[in-house]
């Protein structure tokens, strides 16, 4: 098991280097003069422009810029934003907020998806199953920004059940509304996955065996059916987390959540290469790490995988 | 439309006493009738955005940080809601001649760390802002002062301290409106502690204004900044509330939702998506009035067909082919005001009756006629395009404008979108752009010259179209050397009449300040620069 974990972590290093190089190149290739844009419609003094460009190494070729960046990372120096803040501080400030939001969204989505998916599977083709299919399709079809605006206008502004934006208060309890929206945006896929995987499990021999041994339904469903149906869900969890970290960019903007998505969006607008690359890099790292964790949980749930890999 | 007001600028500042009164008086006549109540301890909440730079006055050139600095610092003068000036830290500013000023400041004023405000605080702060190696974004505000250099570190030799409370300013060229500029944030004084560690100061600035930080870490990055009243403040902007919480919003939609839900007291930017509904949502708490923002598009003279006599005819034809009334009504829902000159209605000296201003009125017949005359000189080919940045919400009006041109003149016209502002500015700056492009100007201080000099004077810094006119330059320099405000304004108007003939930029409309406030506050009045006058706002009940 330990070598398996080590191998997975070592594999992450080329992924990390490749991803940063690619992202850096894409940001670098973005046209336009970011430093000139700092001055708005005004023409800045050329000498000042030169000095500012030199300060951010923008006058150097791409590979030199990347070299500065990547060697900085090993000293935990992720560069400086145009506002003079170390990017690592911005990360440290915004990341926990987005993580809270993502964890809440995943929790909401999975609890609902598993409960509703299970019941749908047990009553396959019934009224409940069909109406839940319609609901899932609606959530699947609604773009996340539409869902966000609808929730914000009706649930917060009109009904007053939530605060319309998050802002300074961004503890667990304050993130309910964006977490619900994010949760529902990924809910449909997970629910349908639970349903189909449960139906498949229900038809397995061992379930029939369990029933024929005389085990009661309340024992067969949670232990024999659910546990085995959860395996594909765990793989799904890795993808969902990835989607959420990125999907947060839209939601965080609408609900004014001071997280990574919001900050990344602002940084892209301003063309702050160090900030953009560092944020996207962290996305990549998180995604890789979560997938390692997912693979480990997979092993715990399904002993066959554990034995094969060790 | 034009509001009558006392003409004030350069020389008029001599009448310091009356000016201070004008500043105070403007505080009492805001829209709502209720001026009695209001809790002087209550904190009001307003919208803002994360400052793009540390909060150093000479390094802040955007509104997010500017709003905060204006609340935390007091300059030599201040601007009332109508753009008129009043003395704040200054006791007296004398314009000795167009190139020399003497500034006397009030004694006994303090920074919030207890240090007294003296002439030295201004001289050191301005020198810091001007020094080339300090790379301050607003360093160009000092370029008129003797000794200034963009290329090498150089002291502002034009600043001379007379005594603790008096200093003189010598300019390297006539700028009779220099005194009028001194309310801008770049000219704020700095306490001595700032120079020990400017980075640390930028995080926790210490000012001399009506508000101060509520404590260490009052600036929560990306979230907001909490200001409380400065108990030692002694000046014309005494707050009627206990403080201001500036909440940062990445999107105006989020801020508007907060305003509707009663989570935000005052909003100074309604999102485009709510233009249709905000007046019915907010009733008489909606604000929609012209601001000091001028919008135009610029056709560089180097483009084929746009120079000489032919170019002149084409520029006029294009201008007359645009139905400004309809576009401001339909596209902007009345949140823009059709332009009738090159400045803004909130600036003293603005006029809607300049000679030649009829070129800004929709006149399809005349437009066709002029276009045909130009075709007789050299036939038109190709397509007329206006470049814009797609990240700034310009597509709708550009499309409407080019459609208006297309339908009137029967030529091919279209918008040319650039993904980002940076990309558009890059091509404008290096002069590679091959089409007309959108331009705009937000005034730094309420004066006509600020809308003209930097944009259209020969070789001026922001003269994106490389316009050059001896007549215009002459009127402009006569205007800036005139020490009588009325005389100066009439010269600036003459200069604009030259522009109306040449149309280096085609005036479109003035942006309005579009905002609103919740029923939780009263006495909300928006300043000439579109920012509410925070100190006047009172909390209801």
Write out pLDDT tens, residues A191-202. Answer: 988 898 888 888
pLDDT of amino acid A143: 86
pLDDT digits (tens, 9 = 90+) for B424-471: 888 888 899 999 999 988 888 999 999 999 899 998 888 999 999 999
A29-33, A224-228, B255-259, B270-274: which has the minimum mean pLDDT? A29-33
Looking at domain A93-257, its CATH superfamily turns out to be: MetI-like (1.10.3720.10)
Quick one: fold of B290-512?
Dipeptide-binding Protein; domain 3 (3.10.105)
| Closest Cα in chain A, distance from residue B54 (Å) | 6
- Per-domain residue ranges of chain B: 12-261+518-539, 290-512
Axis-axis angle for helices A227-254, A260-270 (nearest 10): 50
Q: Judged by CB atoms within 8 Å, which residues 480-539 of B form the interface with A?
A: none
Q: How far is CA B525 from CA A173, A296, B19, in A?
A: 36, 61, 19
pLDDT of amino acid B287: 93
Q: Give the pLDDT band (50/70/90) at residue B266.
A: very high
Q: What is the mean pLDDT of residues B225-245?
A: 94
Q: Is the pLDDT of residue B204 over 90?
A: yes
Distance CA A193, CA A118 (A): 10
A137-151, A258-272, B112-126, B264-278: which has the minimum mean pLDDT? A258-272
Mutation for B interface: A256, A268, A269, A276, most B CBs within 10 A: A256
Q: Give the pLDDT band (50/70/90) at residue B156.
A: very high
Q: Is the pLDDT of residue B511 over 60?
A: yes
Q: Is the pLDDT of residue A42 over 70?
A: no
Q: Is the pLDDT of residue A299 over 80?
A: no
Q: Give the pLDDT band (50/70/90) at residue B15.
A: very low
Q: Give the pLDDT band (50/70/90) at residue B9.
A: very low
Angle at B104 between CA B101 and CA B107, to 5 degrees: 165
Q: Is the ipTM beyond the 0.90 threshold?
A: no
Q: Is the pLDDT of residue B417 over 90?
A: yes
pLDDT of amino acid A31: 67
Among B133, B139, B128, B138, CA closest to B201: B128
Q: Give the pLDDT band (50/70/90) at residue A307.
A: low
The answer for B530, left when phi > 0, alpha when psi is -120 to 50, beta otherwise, is left
pLDDT of amino acid B26: 36
Q: Give the pLDDT band (50/70/90) at residue A40.
A: low
pLDDT of amino acid B38: 65
Q: Is the pLDDT of residue B273 over 80?
A: yes
pLDDT of amino acid B29: 37
Q: Is the pLDDT of residue B25 over 80?
A: no
Q: Within chain A, what is the greatest distance between any pair of CA atoms? A: 86
pLDDT of amino acid B115: 95
| Closest Cα in chain B, distance from residue A83 (Å) | 4
Radius of gyration of chain B (CA): 23
pLDDT of amino acid B13: 33
pLDDT of amino acid B91: 95
Taking the alpha carbons at both ends of chain B, their separation in whole angstroms is: 35
Q: Judged by CB atoms within 8 Å, which residues 34-63 of B form the interface with A?
A: 50-54, 61-62
Higher pLDDT, A23 or B372: B372
pLDDT of amino acid B32: 39
Q: Which two tokens stand for residue B206?
A: 């210490």
How many CB atoms lie under 10 A from the CB of residue A29? 8
Q: Is the pLDDT of residue B235 over 80?
A: yes
pLDDT of amino acid A310: 45
Contacts of A157 in chain B (CB under 8 A): 257, 260-261
Looking at domain B12-261+518-539, its CATH superfamily turns out to be: Periplasmic binding protein-like II (3.40.190.10)
Higher pLDDT, B355 or A74: B355
CB contact (8 A) between residue A255 and residue B254? yes
- Per-domain residue ranges of chain A: 11-75, 93-257
Flag whether residue B28 sits within 8 Å of chain A, measured between CB atoms: no
Angle at A270 between CA A264 and CA A272, to 5 degrees: 70
Contacts of B150 in chain A (CB under 8 A): 45, 47-48
Burial A98-135 (b: 16+ CB within 10 A, else e): bbbbbebbbebbbebbbebbbbbbbeeeeeebeebeee
Q: What is the mean pLDDT of residues B245-267?
A: 91
Check if the beta carbon of residue B92 is closer than 8 Å to that of residue B155. Answer: no
Task: Report the 3 state secondary structure along B236-277.
Answer: CCCCCCCEEEEEECCCHHHHHHHHHCCCCCEECCCCHHHCCC
């Amino acid at each position: 098991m330990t070598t398996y974990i080590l191998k997975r972590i070592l594999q992450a290093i080329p992924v990390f280097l490749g991803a940063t190089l690619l992202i850096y190149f894409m940001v670098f290739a973005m046209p336009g003069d970011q430093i000139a844009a700092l001055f708005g419609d005004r023409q800045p003094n050329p000498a000042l422009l030169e000095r500012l460009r030199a300060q951010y190494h923008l006058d150097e070729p791409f590979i030199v810029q990347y070299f500065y960046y990547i060697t900085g990372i090993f000293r935990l120096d992720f560069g400086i934003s145009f506002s003079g803040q170390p990017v690592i501080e911005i990360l440290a400030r915004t990341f926990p907020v987005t993580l809270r939001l993502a964890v809440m969204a995943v929790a909401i989505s999975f609890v609902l998806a598993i409960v509703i998916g299970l019941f749908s599977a047990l009553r396959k083709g019934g009224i409940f199953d069909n109406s839940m299919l319609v609901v899932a399709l609606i959530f699947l079809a609604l773009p996340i920004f539409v869902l966000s605006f609808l929730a914000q206008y009706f649930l917060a502004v009109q009904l007053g059940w939530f605060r319309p934006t998050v802002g300074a208060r961004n503890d667990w309890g304050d993130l309910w509304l964006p977490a619900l929206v994010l949760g529902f945006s990924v809910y449909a896929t997970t629910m349908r996955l639970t349903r189909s995987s449960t139906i498949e499990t229900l038809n397995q021999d061992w379930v029939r065996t369990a029933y024929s041994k005389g085990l009661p339904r309340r024992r067969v469903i949670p232990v024999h059916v659910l546990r085995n149906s959860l395996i594909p869900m765990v793989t799904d969890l890795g993808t969902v987390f990835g989607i959420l970290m990125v999907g947060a960019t839209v939601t965080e903007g609408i609900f004014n959540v001071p997280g990574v998505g919001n900050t990344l969006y602002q940084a892209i607008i301003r063309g702050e290469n160090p900030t953009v690359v560092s944020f996207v890099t962290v996305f990549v790292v998180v995604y890789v790490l979560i997938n390692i964790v997912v693979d480990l949980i997979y092993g715990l749930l399904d002993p066959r995988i554990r034995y094969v890999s060790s | 439309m034009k509001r009558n007001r006392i003409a004030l600028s350069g020389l008029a500042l001599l009448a310091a006493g009356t000016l201070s009164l004008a500043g105070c008086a403007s505080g009492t006549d805001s829209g709502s009738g209720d001026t009695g109540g209001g809790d002087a301890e209550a904190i009001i909440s307003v919208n803002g955005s994360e400052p793009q730079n540390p909060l150093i006055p000479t390094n802040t050139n955007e509104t997010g940080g500017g709003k905060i600095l204006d609340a935390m610092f007091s300059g030599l003068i201040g601007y009332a809601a109508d753009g008129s000036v009043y003395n704040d830290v200054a006791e007296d500013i004398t314009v000795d001649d167009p190139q020399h000023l003497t500034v006397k400041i009030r004694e006994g004023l303090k920074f919030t760390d207890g240090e007294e405000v003296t002439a030295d605080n201004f001289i050191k702060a301005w020198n810091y802002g001007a020094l080339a190696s300090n790379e301050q974004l607003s360093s160009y505000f000092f370029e008129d002062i003797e000794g200034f250099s963009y290329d090498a570190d150089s002291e502002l030799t034009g600043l001379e301290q007379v005594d603790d409370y008096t200093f003189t300013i010598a300019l390297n060229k006539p700028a009779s409106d220099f005194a009028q500029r001194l309310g801008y944030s770049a000219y704020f004084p700095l306490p001595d502690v700032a120079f020990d560690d400017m980075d640390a100061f930028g995080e926790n600035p210490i000012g001399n204004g009506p508000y101060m930080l509520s404590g260490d870490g009052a600036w929560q990055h990306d979230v907001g900044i909490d200001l409380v009243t400065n108990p030692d403040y002694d000046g014309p902007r005494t707050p009627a509330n206990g403080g201001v919480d500036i909440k940062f919003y990445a999107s105006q939609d989020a801020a508007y939702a907060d305003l509707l839900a009663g989570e935000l007291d005052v909003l100074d930017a309604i999102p485009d998506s709510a233009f249709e509904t905000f007046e019915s949502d907010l009733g008489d708490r909606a604000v929609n009035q012209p601001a000091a923002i001028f919008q135009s598009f610029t056709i560089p003279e180097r483009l084929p067909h746009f120079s000489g006599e032919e170019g002149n005819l084409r520029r006029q034809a294009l201008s007359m082919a645009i139905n400004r009334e309809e576009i401001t009504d339909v596209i902007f829902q009345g949140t823009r005001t059709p332009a009738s000159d090159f400045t803004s209605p909130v600036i003293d000296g603005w006029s809607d009756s300049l000679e030649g201003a009829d070129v800004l009125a929709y006149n399809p017949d005349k437009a066709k006629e002029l276009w045909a005359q130009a075709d007789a000189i050299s036939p038109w080919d190709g397509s007329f395009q206006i470049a814009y940045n797609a990240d700034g919400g310009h597509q709708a009006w550009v499309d409407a404008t080019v459609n208006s041109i297309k339908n009137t003149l029967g030529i091919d016209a279209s918008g040319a979108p650039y993904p980002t502002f940076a990309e558009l500015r890059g091509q404008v700056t290096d002069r590679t752009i091959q089409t007309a492009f959108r331009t705009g100007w937000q005034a730094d201080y309420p004066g006509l010259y600020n809308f003209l000099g930097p944009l259209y004077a020969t070789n001026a810094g922001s003269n994106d179209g490389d316009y050059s006119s001896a007549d215009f330059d002459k009127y402009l320099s006569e205007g800036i050397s005139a020490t009588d405000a009325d005389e100066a304004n009439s010269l600036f108007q003459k200069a604009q009449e030259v522009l109306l003939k040449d149309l280096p930029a085609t005036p479109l409309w003035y942006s309005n300040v579009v905002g609103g406030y919740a029923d939780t506050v009263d006495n909300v009045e928006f300043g000439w620069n579109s920012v509410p006058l925070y100190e006047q706002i009172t909390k209801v009940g």
